[in-house]
Amino acid sequence: MKIQTPGLIIKETNIGENDKLLVILTKEHGIIRAFADGVRRMKSKNSAATSLLCYADFTLYHNKDTYKVSDSVPIELFFDLRYNLEELALAQYFCEMALKLTPEEFEPTEILRLLLNSLHFLTNKSKPVNIVKAVTELKLISLAGFMPNLTGCAVCGEDEAFRFSYSEGCLFCLECSVDVKDTTVVNPTLLAAMRHIIYSEFSKIYSFEIPENDAELLSLITERYVSVQSEYKFKTLDFYKSLIKGI
Ligand SMILES: [Zn+2]
């Protein structure tokens, strides 16, 4: 059986001398693992669009449990990301998150759209890196089924609730948070940004501005929320953080 689908390569593994196993986040068929034979030869017609972060139109043959790449037409290769180690590391973290968090048998159209937008903003540098990171983390974990409830205090409903619980994924006001562990105080700017990311229309989720120190705090909160909710330690995040520490 043959399928044709746009997809973003979120993982690649070399096999033998000339082949690769690709993990492709496709628009309509979920996450597909596909063998790409011979693509590490220079003369292979598929060598251009079969690397990590390539977004291409793939023609895949499906036989029993195995997919093979028959053809790949590049759409966007995000080539410039490969020249900046920090941006490349962050892009790899986005890919690892998508791989880990995209539910099986799930149509990941919105997750793919999120990743493509974030890679686009990393490439053209038109948004602060911490904003791109925070939006990607909070929106991705929400799409994966762990959307926090940020409407008000989870106990009494009070609007002025500024303690965010990582494990509960909700807010508490000062009075109701006395016995709740693992909370962090989010200032009104951060809370407005978090609400914007999860409650706005998709086309607007990156469109907000906050001071750089708040963007940094926001990025730390969303990163921890992903880590607590997914119960997973992302190696690509550790690598990214080791690089930015050196700046
Ligand atoms: Zn309360």
**Residues 33-58: pLDDT tens digits?**
999 999 998 888 988 889 999 999 99
- E strands along the chain, which residues? 2-15, 19-26, 31-36, 55-63, 66-76, 149-153, 163-165, 170-172, 183-185
Ligand 1 center to 173 CA (angstroms): 4
Ligand 1 center to 80 CA (angstroms): 48
pLDDT at position 114: 97
Enumerate domains of the chain plus CATH numbers: 2-77 (2.40.50.140), 80-245 (1.20.1440.120)
Ligand 1 center to 134 CA (angstroms): 26
Ligand 1 center to 98 CA (angstroms): 34
pLDDT at position 247: 56
**Residues 141-184: pLDDT tens digits?**
999 999 999 999 999 998 888 899 999 999 999 899 888 888 89
Pairing of strands 66-76, 31-36: parallel
pLDDT at position 226: 98
Kindly write down the DSSP assignment for every residue of 100-126, as one continuous string.
HHSPTT---HHHHHHHHHHHHHHHHT-
Spatial separation of the C-alpha atoms in residues 4 and 145, rounded to whole Å: 28
Q: Give the residue ranges of the chain where pLDDT is below 70.
A: 246-247
pTM value? 0.94
pLDDT at position 48: 85
